[in-house]
Amino acid sequence: MNVCGESGAERCAGLIASSGSIALLSGAGMSTRAGIPDFRGPEGLYSRLGIENPERIFEIGTFFANPAFFYDFYRDFLKLLETVKPTWAHRFFAVLESQGRLSGIVTQNIDALHQRAGSRNVLEIHGSVWQSHCTKCGKGYTYGESAEKIASERVPLCDRCGGVIKPDIVFFGEDVRRFDDCRDLVAKADLLFVVGSSLAVTPAAWLPGACPGRIVVVNRGEISSSWLPSSRVALHAEEDIDTFFRAVAVRMGIDVPESL
């Protein structure tokens, strides 16, 4: 059901009120609202690089062969992250969790904006920038520690063994993180939100199929029907994400902080 405007917000508020266990699958659309361009879109990060096959930046084989290729991009990406803050929608879902309505979040994003908004149970299926590890000895590095090294070394090296440090991001060629936990979370939900995702990237795109309950999609642009048939969608709002959830919150009488 594709419903926009006030009727969609009213319908969504009713679905939340009548649900016992809510889950969220979030994609790049939630981060673009915060000021992080998506990777694949016409205005995305890949298109801005002006290099052939930019997807190679996140190929694990390319990383091990030439880590400088990745870090020349990643250094600028970290600078971008320093300038952004969680959106209103990030904070809305954090409030739902604090009220005991939201069981957890599966995110395809690597920016930790959900955690910065206050969400606690966040499963990062594609990993995150907030931890890094040495590819040789396994020593862990915090975000601050790795960022300091990245700023001073073209390729950050482990101070214990000299190995190359890699952020805990899932590269192409690596397994996604905690997929079974992600599927279990979705499978226990009687209401699943799919927000800011086109469901074009597997295996994350398979997750809505595990939900036995109702599914609400909030996303501008096409949604792949390969893994989520339109017949499974109770509500599809093709609206600005923040605007839509502000309207939902008003109808539910939920107060969401305007800033952190």
Domain boundaries, the chain: 5-34+86-126+177-252, 45-83+129-169
Q: For 5-34+86-126+177-252, CATH number?
A: 3.40.50.1220
| pLDDT value at 202 more than 80 | yes
Burial (0-12, 13-18, 19+ Cβ within 10 Å), 138 = exposed
The model's pLDDT over 69-89, given as tens digits with 9 standing for 90+, comes to: 999 989 988 988 899 999 999
Provide the Cα torsion 169, 174, 180, 184; round to 10°: 50
The CATH architecture of the domain made up of 45-83+129-169 is 2-Layer Sandwich (3.30)
Residue 218 has φ and ψ, to the nearest 5°, of: -125, 105
By annotation, the residues acting in catalysis are 126
Q: Do domains 5-34+86-126+177-252 and 45-83+129-169 have the same CATH topology?
A: no
Q: Write out the two tokens for 100.
A: 């005991």
Mean pLDDT of 119-134: 96
Give the integer Cα–Cα distance in Å for 219 and 215. Answer: 13
pTM tops 0.85: yes
The model's pLDDT over 24-33, given as tens digits with 9 standing for 90+, comes to: 999 999 998 8
Cα→Cα distances 172→49, 56, 235, 249, Å? 19, 9, 32, 38
**Beta strand ranges found along 173-244 (DSSP E):** 191-195, 214-218, 233-237
